[in-house]
Amino acid sequence: KELFDLYHKKVYRIAYGIVRNREDALDIVQEVFIKLFRSLKNFKGESNLYTYIYRIAMNTAIDHVRSGKRKSTFNYDNNLYQLSDINGKRPDSLLYEKELEDILDRALNQLPEEQKATLVFREIEGLSYEEIAEVMGCSVGTVMSRLHYGRKRLRNFLKVYLKLGKNI
């Protein structure tokens, strides 16, 4: 319970960052903590516990995407805006933010899973290059490369969208 209370929001953000669907992300959170509970006796303490949990979360989310279990990314019940966020914002501002979020979701879904996961760890979770390398089981150079090419692909996708006014 303590581990769940401490890490479930971070695991959700990782899962959502990869699968881009609320229901899938919630399913993945449950699966991650079941896997963690079952494997905790095998944890040797050679890495930080949060690194171990993040690795389970990332692998579970990527496996979920690869397995084809994904639900539609369109979500009527998208509760990304809390009531406190809406207070004081104009409807056109909220609509613009939602449209931008949808565009970014589509752009992220164009990325290979490893680039997407690396961007989520760096930009959303704020992990260092070294922490990402440990979680993903790769070198710091690979992390830097994935970030570089992931950002470049996002930039190109968004540039085309903005330049041509495409309806993505």
Q: What is the pLDDT of residues 90-141, one digit of tens each?
A: 777 777 777 777 788 788 888 998 999 899 889 888 889 998 998 888 999 9
Confirm whether pTM is higher than 0.85: no
3-state secondary structure of 52: helix
Q: What is the pLDDT of residues 53-68, one digit of tens each?
A: 988 998 899 889 888 7
Give me the residue label for tokens 């996002």.
154
Give me the residue label for tokens 């922490």.
131
C-beta of residue 24 within 8 angstroms of C-beta of residue 15: yes
